[in-house]
Structure 1
């Protein structure tokens, strides 16, 4: 446990960890419905399923960090963010270009997560929370890899969507 329990940096760090935990729960509530609906983009479904597994590991790492600091995650934040994620996923499901909207939203969300982890790493280093650094770096690395994958595959997904539409086939998911 950190010895400087009253520091403002510690307080900011804890809030950031709780926010990250809620953010990752939101990510799950977005990705799980998406992967269930995908029919024509197996490469996307496979990568989303892989990232769901990674995200579950990220949540476990965040819980471990919070536990070592004698803190819990925020159930209220987790619930609220999961509900927001579920609503976002439902909103795209009725769109004719669902796969494209999901691709855009997923890419944006991954970059949001990257920013959050970069900020947590700064706070972790500034506050001397050295035991958290490796776990946060691992989470960041997974998010960066997912964002890179989404960026590299957007062209192919877009072209596949257009080809399916041209052929008169269901292309949305």
Structure 2
């Protein structure tokens, strides 16, 4: 049982670092989406959801006397910052950012799936419902990105054809 709990705590820390990384990435991207109001609004909504998810994970870690991993959080934020900064120079940033965000959402979905299975094994029913809520939010964001990527791509291509700042 100790090994199971150790895995659970490690995966909780990983999920917290993942959500912190997601916040850094989305905030970096959001500042450059003024020409994509629907995408910008949906990212703003998901930032609020992600902030809540990070707080829930932090609370679960604190209540289990495990705490977050400052090193993992910092490394995740640095990676996200690097990704956000590198996109600043890509003229097709909105398209590549959408693709990267869709991929990241699926990583988050599966991380919550792992946490749900582990929490069930430990009998941590309160956490299961929190993880399920977060997993649904991540799935909804992934679905939104998928459903709107053609619209975002067309908007980018129209701006590019008009020789406007297309990546932003």
TM-score, normalised with respect to structure 2: 0.97
Match of 1:29 in 2: 24
What is the alpha-carbon root mean square deviation over aligned residues? Answer: 1.0
- Note the C-alpha offset of 1:117: 0.5
Partner Cα distance (1:107, 1:122) in 2: 23
- Note the C-alpha offset of 1:148: 0.5
Match of 1:119 in 2: 114
Match of 2:135 in 1: 140
Partner Cα distance (2:126, 2:46) in 1: 24
Range moving further from structure 2, 124-133 or 90-99: 124-133
Counterpart secondary structure, 1:71: coil
Indicate whether 1:43 and 2:32 are aligned: no
Counterpart secondary structure, 1:140: helix
- Note the C-alpha offset of 1:7: 1.6
Partner Cα distance (1:60, 1:135) in 2: 11
| Over 6 Å off, 4+ runs | none
| Among 144, 154, 163, the residue aligned to 1:168 | 163
TM-score, normalised with respect to structure 1: 0.94
Match of 2:65 in 1: 70
| Among 36, 55, 59, the residue aligned to 2:54 | 59
